[in-house]
Amino acid sequence: MTSGSKYVSVNQSGQVTIKRWTPKGTYKISVTAKATSAYKKAAKTVAVTVKTASKGEMAKEKMLWDLKNN
């Protein structure tokens, strides 16, 4: 993870998870693949852009989260 590891994570199979209440912005993920008999070693940086939901959607989500966790 190049930036945003507090908010964005990637599992072993490459699935990206963005945590709830992540601030909007662009987060960078470094991807690497080892060499095999069929492919050369490769590396790339990917940008993930997080956009915020509308205020109404965020208020509803927060209310549901508060009800569930209190």
pLDDT tens string 10-43: 888 888 888 877 888 898 988 888 999 999 999 9
Tell me, what amino acid is at 24?
Answer: K
Q: Are 35 and 41 in contact (CB under 8 A)?
A: yes
Residues 19, 23, 24, 30: is their CA dihedral positive or negative? negative
Asked if the model's pLDDT at residue 1 lies above 60, the reply is no
The pair of structure tokens assigned to 44 is 């790339």
For 37-55, write each residue's pLDDT tens digit.
999 999 999 998 888 766 7
pLDDT value, residue 39: 94
* Residues listed for the chain: 70
The reported pTM is 0.61
pLDDT value, residue 5: 76
Q: Under DSSP, is residue 62 helix (H, G, I), strand (E, B) or coil?
A: helix
Distance between CA 11 and CA 16 in Å, rounded? 7
